[in-house]
Amino acid sequence: MLRHPLIVWFLVALQMICGAYFLWEILASVLGLPVIPLRWEQREIVEIGATLGLILGSLMGVALAITARREMQRAKTAQRLTAGQFTDVVREYFAKLGLTPAETEVAWYILKGMSVSEIAQLRNTREGTVKTQGTAIYKKAGVNGKSQLMALLVEDLLL
């Protein structure tokens, strides 16, 4: 709905027309102004239109609030990344994935572009251990390999 501006403008116009009618009815009653003559069928249509306008307007407001909140979160993350807090943001991301301390260490090495053998040497472990930890990292992130992990990280943190 929010991606179709014509629908939004129609909804706004509907609310304004129905609201103006009801406001005129109240002012006419209080100030003794002439009443807009409508048959009961027409008045029912105006009331249905006003009701639909209010309901749809409320739903649109909720959708806009949710969208705004998401955008604020993305902006905060982008601000933190540009403020030199990349390490903290990535650490929090790894924590959200539920990585163990050893998996987190391996994930950092993976992000740095190191091979399995290089990671094994740095950590004084066997390559099989690093491969197993890498597989666990990819599974928790829902990806199949290094490039997808990098793409997911960039997408989730920056986009």
**What average pLDDT does range 73-83 have in this prediction?**
73
Q: Look at residue 120 in the predicted model and tell me its pLDDT.
A: 92
Higher pLDDT, 23 or 82: 23
Give Dmax (Cα) for the chain.
91
Q: Which position has the token pair 């950590």?
A: 123
Count other C-beta atoms under 10 Å from residue 151's C-beta.
Answer: 11
pTM above 0.85, yes or no: no
Residues 6+ apart with CB under 8 A from 100: 136
Q: What is the distance, to the nearest Å, from the Cα of residue 143 to the centroid of all Cα atoms in its chain?
A: 21
**What average pLDDT does range 35-55 have in this prediction?**
82
Residue 159 pLDDT exceeds 70: no
Segment 107-135, tens digit of pLDDT? 999 988 889 999 999 899 999 999 999 99
Q: Look at residue 105 in the predicted model and tell me its pLDDT.
A: 92
Residue 99 pLDDT exceeds 90: yes
- Of the pLDDT bands very low, low, confident and very high (cuts 50, 70, 90), residue 8 is confident
**Alpha carbon of 155 to those of 56, 74, 138: distances in Å?**
32, 11, 15
- Of the pLDDT bands very low, low, confident and very high (cuts 50, 70, 90), residue 1 is low
135 and 106 in contact (C-beta within 8 Å)? no
Distance CA 141, CA 155 (A): 12
Sequential DSSP letters for 57-70: HHHHHHHHHHHHHH
Supply 1's token pair.
């709905």
129 and 120 in contact (C-beta within 8 Å)? yes
